């Protein structure tokens, strides 16, 4: 029996070998994204941008004579899923680099996995400063929270808001980070924090905090959260008769904010990474290409950052002349003035990107560019 069985087990074995050989012809790049779940709008945007970049690169002939193969894993926006997804990409797909995540909390899950495996990771949009502190293989192509918090504090002072309240999600590394740097710059600049309230990720009811904020009588409320809760916070604030402006960071930028928030989000302000209205030819070319590829959808900041993250990776690979992890890492660290759609990207000694921020508002149910604030 044993002898008879043997020939049957051989073909699959050969098939595996053949597949392995075939896989050598492409460069596999892993992506962890929140394609579904609470922050799906972010994940979808960054994924669409990343995929478009990979397609552009492949059309141009790829890098080192090979084409890219983007392998994407969805983490459903859930805590705890990202590390698993990253491990899967590293062990099953043997990717040469990891792209993702948008949310800082989830990038912080992926970073240790990438660092331990010594595989470069580039976060497109995680702005919390600790993300790249995880280790020498962790990079990002966006500005960081100290900068974003500082920008919004400067903005608030410039608008003449003397007294503001903060409402911060304590379960989000991003929110806490922005809140901290906002407070530093704002109070140093002469502003007064009249009320500081917090919430946690799964909260839906913010009326208690908002009632207390209303009683404190403030000029504006700084809410460095993500669009879902920001929309609910805006709505509940208006229901309680709070008419002062709300403002926050790049977590606000999603069309879902407009859908859920409706008229309640009119007049809010937030900082973000780029403007699709920027007249620069590179930006307009990207906007057009994105619209053509994705049913006329206008790319938001997450899409632009996703696009840039893949381009920065390809650029480093070209300069390194190999996909070998150590050389790729060194090339990434040496990135200087790379022209992307979100501005010129230079990687500093902490593996962060320094670039300008754009301030947006909501006007007549649409996002509108207000001003740009340089680093």
170 is a site residue for another protein (CB under 8 A): yes
Pairwise CA distance, residues 129 & 280, whole Å: 29
Binding another protein (rule: CB under 8 A), the pick from 107, 134, 209, 271 is: 209
| 3-class state of residue 270 by DSSP | strand
204 is a site residue for another protein (CB under 8 A): yes
200 is a site residue for another protein (CB under 8 A): yes
The nearer residue to another protein, 197 or 329, going by C-beta atoms, is 197
Cβ pair 234, 265 in contact under 8 A: yes
* Region of 51-59, 133-141, 232-240, 298-306 interacting with another protein (CB under 8 A): 232-240
List binders of another protein among 29-88 (CB under 8 A): 36-38, 40-41, 76-77
Cβ pair 157, 189 in contact under 8 A: yes
**Of 145, 140, 77, 68, residue with least CA distance to 106:** 77
Q: DSSP letter for 265, please.
A: G
According to DSSP, the residues that pair with 193 across neighbouring strands are 164
Map residues 254-273 to x or -, x wherever contact with another protein holds by CB under 8 A: --x--xx-------------
Which residues, including other chains, have CB under 8 Å from residue 373's CB and lie 6 or more apart?
Answer: 151, 154, 155, 271, 356, 357, 358, 359
231 is a site residue for another protein (CB under 8 A): yes
Strands across the sheet containing 26-33: 67-74, 26-33, 97-99, 121-123, 138-140
The nearer residue to another protein, 41 or 134, going by C-beta atoms, is 41
237 is a site residue for another protein (CB under 8 A): no
State the nearest-atom distance from the C-beta of 252 to another protein, in Å.
15
Which residues, including other chains, have CB under 8 Å from residue 259's CB and lie 6 or more apart?
Answer: 231
Binding another protein (rule: CB under 8 A), the pick from 72, 126, 172, 228 is: 228
State the nearest-atom distance from the C-beta of 265 to another protein, in Å.
12
Compute how many other C-beta atoms are within 10 angstroms of the C-beta atom of residue 358: 24
211 is a site residue for another protein (CB under 8 A): yes
354 is a site residue for another protein (CB under 8 A): no
Which residues in this chain contact another protein in the complex, by CB under 8 A? 36-38, 40-41, 76-77, 170, 195-200, 202, 204-209, 211-212, 214-215, 228, 231-232, 235, 239-241, 256, 259-260
């Amino acid at each position: 029996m044993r002898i008879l069985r043997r020939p049957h087990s051989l073909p699959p074995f050969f098939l595996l070998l053949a597949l392995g050989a075939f896989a050598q012809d492409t460069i596999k790049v892993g992506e962890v994204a929140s394609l579904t779940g609470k922050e799906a709008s972010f994940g979808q945007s960054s994924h669409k941008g990343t995929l478009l970049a990979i397609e552009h690169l492949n059309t141009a002939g790829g890098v080192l004579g090979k084409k890219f193969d983007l392998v994407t894993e969805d983490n459903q926006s859930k805590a705890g899923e990202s590390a698993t997804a990253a491990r899967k990409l590293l062990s099953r797909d043997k990717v040469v680099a990891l792209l993702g995540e948008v949310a800082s909390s989830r990038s912080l899950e992926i970073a240790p996995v990438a660092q331990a495996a010594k595989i470069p990771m580039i976060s497109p949009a995680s702005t919390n400063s600790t993300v790249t502190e995880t280790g020498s293989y962790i990079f990002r192509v966006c500005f960081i929270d100290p900068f974003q918090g500082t920008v919004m504090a400067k903005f608030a002072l410039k608008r003449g808001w003397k007294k503001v309240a903060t409402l911060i999600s304590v379960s989000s590394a991003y929110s806490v980070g922005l809140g901290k740097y906002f407070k530093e710059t704002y109070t140093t600049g002469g502003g007064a924090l009249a009320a500081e309230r917090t919430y946690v990720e799964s909260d839906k009811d913010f009326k208690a905090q908002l009632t207390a904020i209303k009683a404190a009588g403030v000029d504006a409320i700084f809410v460095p959260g993500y669009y879902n809760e920001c929309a609910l916070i805006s709505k509940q604030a208006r229901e309680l008769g709070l008419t002062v402006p709300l403002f926050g960071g790049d977590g606000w930028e999603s069309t879902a904010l407009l859908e859920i928030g409706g008229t309640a989000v009119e007049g809010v302000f937030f900082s973000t990474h780029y403007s699709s209205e920027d007249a620069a030819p590179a930006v307009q070319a990207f906007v057009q290409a994105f619209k053509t590829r994705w049913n006329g959808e206008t790319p938001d900041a997450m899409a632009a950052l996703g696009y840039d993250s893949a381009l920065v990776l390809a650029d480093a690979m070209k300069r390194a002349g190999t996909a070998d992890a150590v050389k790729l890492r060194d090339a990434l660290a040496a990135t200087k003035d790379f022209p992307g759609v979100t501005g010129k990207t230079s990687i500093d000694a902490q593996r962060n990107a320094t670039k300008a921020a754009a301030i947006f508002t909501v006007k007549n149910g649409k996002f509108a560019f207000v001003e740009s604030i340089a680093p």
